[in-house]
Amino acid sequence: MAPTSREDLLVSTFVQLTKNLVDDFDLIDLLTGLADGCVDLDLAAAAGILLVDHEEKLRVMAASSDRTRLLELFQLQNDEGPCLDAFSTKEPVISVDLRADKSRWPIFAPEAVDAGFRSVHAIPLRLRETVIGALNLFGDHVGGMPEANLRIATALANAVSIAILQNQTILQSEIRATQLQRALDSRVAIEQAKGMLAERGQIDMDSAFRHLRSFARNTRRHLTAVAVDVVSGALALDEVQAGSSISPASLDQNQGRSGS
Amino acid sequence: MTDQKRKSGVAARFARNRLAKPPRSLCGLSIEILGVTATCVTLMNNRNSTAVCASDDRAVRLDDLQYTVGEGPSPEAFAARSIVSEPDLVRQSPQRWQHFTPMAIELGMAGVFAFPLQVGDRCFGVLTAYQDVAGPLSKDQESDGLIVADTIARSMLKTRPEGDFEILAASTVGDGAHRAEFHQATGMIAVQLGVQVAEAAVRIRAHAFGADRQVADVAGDIVAGRLRLDNDRPGREFGV
Q: Is the pLDDT of residue B20 over 50?
A: no
Arithmetic mean of pLDDT, B96-105 = 92
CB–CB contact B45 A237 (8 Å)? no
- CB burial of B79-105 (b: ≥16 within 10 Å; e: otherwise) equals eeeebbbbbebeeeeeeebebbbebbe
CB–CB contact B157 A192 (8 Å)? no
pLDDT of residue B162: 46
Model confidence pLDDT, tens digit, residues A39-96: 999 999 999 999 988 778 888 888 998 888 888 888 888 899 999 999 999 999 999 9
Q: Is the pLDDT of residue A252 over 80?
A: no
Nearest to B184 among A177, A184, A195 (CB): A195
CB distance from A236 to chain B under 8 Å? no
Closest chain A residue to B123, measured at CA: A177
CB distance from A3 to chain B under 8 Å? no
Average pLDDT value over all residues in chain A? 86
pLDDT tier at A7, thresholds 50, 70, 90: confident
SS3 state of residue A58: strand
Model confidence pLDDT, tens digit, residues B102-121: 999 999 999 999 999 998 77
| Amino acid in the structure at residue A79 | D
The residues of B whose Cβ lies within 8 A of any Cβ of A are 43-45, 47-50, 119-120, 122, 124, 154, 156-157, 159, 161, 164-165, 167-168, 180, 183-192, 196-197, 223-226
pLDDT of residue B170: 46
Give me the helices (H) in chain A, please: 3-22, 27-40, 66-78, 82-89, 108-114, 147-201, 205-218, 223-232, 237-243, 248-250
Average pLDDT value over all residues in chain B? 82
Structure pTM? 0.64
**What is the share, in percent, of chain B residues with pLDDT greater than 70?**
77
Least confident of A81-85, B132-136, B197-201, B209-213: B209-213
Residue B33's nearest CA partner among B150, B124, B126 is B150
* Shortest distance, CA B221 to any CA of chain A (angstroms): 10
ipTM exceeding the 0.85 mark: no
* Shortest distance, CA B51 to any CA of chain A (angstroms): 10
Q: Is the pLDDT of residue B230 over 50?
A: yes
CB–CB contact A260 B157 (8 Å)? no
CB distance from A227 to chain B under 8 Å? no
CB–CB contact A188 B47 (8 Å)? yes
**What is the share, in percent, of chain B residues with pLDDT greater than 90?**
44
pLDDT of residue A50: 92
pLDDT tier at A245, thresholds 50, 70, 90: confident
CB–CB contact A195 B190 (8 Å)? yes
CA-based radius of gyration for chain B: 18
